[in-house]
Amino acid sequence: MEKDLKKRARQIIRILKKEYPGAKTALRFTNPIELLVATVLSAQCTDERVNRVTEELFKKYKTARDYAEVDLSELEEDIRPTGFYRNKARAIKEFCTELVKHYDGKVPASREELVKLPGIGRKTANLVLGEAFGIPGIVVDTHVLRLSHRIGLTRKKDPVKAEFELMDVVPKNQWTLFSNLLILHGRNICTAKKPNHKDCKILELCEEGSSWAKKAMGT
C-alpha cells in the first residue's frame, strides 16, 4: 500500500510540476527574517495583501532588533491591514526578542530551534526552512491537508500527524516542492468550496476524483 502511495505521490509531483513550473511561495522576501515575518502575517490573510503590507514594512524594519525594540502599538499600526494585527504584532515582537537574545538576531536554520521560538509552529518552520534555507520541509497548511485527504495520501486530520505520514510517502528532496504544488493546485483547481475534478490533471491518481469519475460515467 505504502509503495503504491509513494508511486502516486511521485507521479502527482511530476504532473503538477508541469502545471505550475517554478512553484514557490508567493510571499515576497529577501532574507529569512523577512520570510518569517511575512509567514506570520499570512495567517488568515491573502499573500497579495501581505506583500502589499511588507513592501513598506521591510523598508522600515531591517533586522530582528528593529522589531524587538519598536513600540508594540506602532508595529500593530504598521501591520494592521493583514488582520489579527494585535496577536501578530505581539508574536513578531516576541520571537524577534528571542532571536536577538539567543541567536544574535539571526533566524536559525534548524526545525528544532525554530519551533522553540514563541508563536512558531512546524508549518511556519518548514516554510522558512524550505524557501529561505533550501532545507526540505512539508508545509501542511489548509490546502495541503485538504488535497492530501482528497487524493488519499493520508487520513490523518491533525496537521502534524499528516506531515509525518506525508514525509514517508513523498521523497525528501521534494518536500518543499510538493507543498508548493498542492497549495497552488488547491487555490486553482481543488478549492475548498468545490473541487473542479473535470479539469484536474491528477484525477486518475486521486481517490475522490476517481470516485467522482466513476459516478459521472454511471459505473
Q: Least distance from C-beta 196 to ligand SF4, angstroms?
A: 5
Residue 195 β-bridge partners: 190
Sequence-distant contacts of 3-7: CB under 8 A, at least 24 apart: 5/152, 5/153, 5/169, 6/169, 6/170, 6/171
Q: Least distance from C-beta 99 to ligand SF4, angstroms?
A: 38
By C-beta, is 99 or 202 nearer to ligand SF4? Answer: 202
Sequence-distant contacts of 202-210: CB under 8 A, at least 24 apart: 202/11, 202/12, 202/15, 202/16, 202/151, 205/8, 205/11, 205/12, 205/15, 205/151, 206/150, 206/151, 206/152, 207/150, 207/151, 207/152, 208/150, 208/151, 208/152, 209/150, 209/151
Q: Is 168 a catalytic site residue?
A: no
- Candidates 47, 71, 123, 198; catalytic one: 123
Q: Is 123 a catalytic site residue?
A: yes
By C-beta, is 166 or 190 nearer to ligand SF4? Answer: 190
Contacts to ligand SF4 by CB under 6 A:
147, 150-151, 189-190, 195-197, 200, 202-203, 206, 208-209
By C-beta, is 136 or 195 nearer to ligand SF4? Answer: 195
Q: Least distance from C-beta 139 to ligand SF4, angstroms?
A: 17
By C-beta, is 84 or 212 nearer to ligand SF4? Answer: 212
Residue nearest to ligand SF4 (CB): 209
Q: Least distance from C-beta 186 to ligand SF4, angstroms?
A: 8
- Candidates 78, 101, 141, 158; catalytic one: 141
By C-beta, is 127 or 144 nearer to ligand SF4? Answer: 144
Q: Least distance from C-beta 21 to ligand SF4, angstroms?
A: 19
d(CA 154, CA 146): 10
Are the C-beta atoms of 98 and 118 separated by less than 8 Å?
Answer: yes
196 phi, psi to nearest 5 deg? -90, 70
Q: Quote helix, strand, coil % in the chain, to nearest 5.
A: 70, 0, 30
Give me the active site residues, please.
123, 141
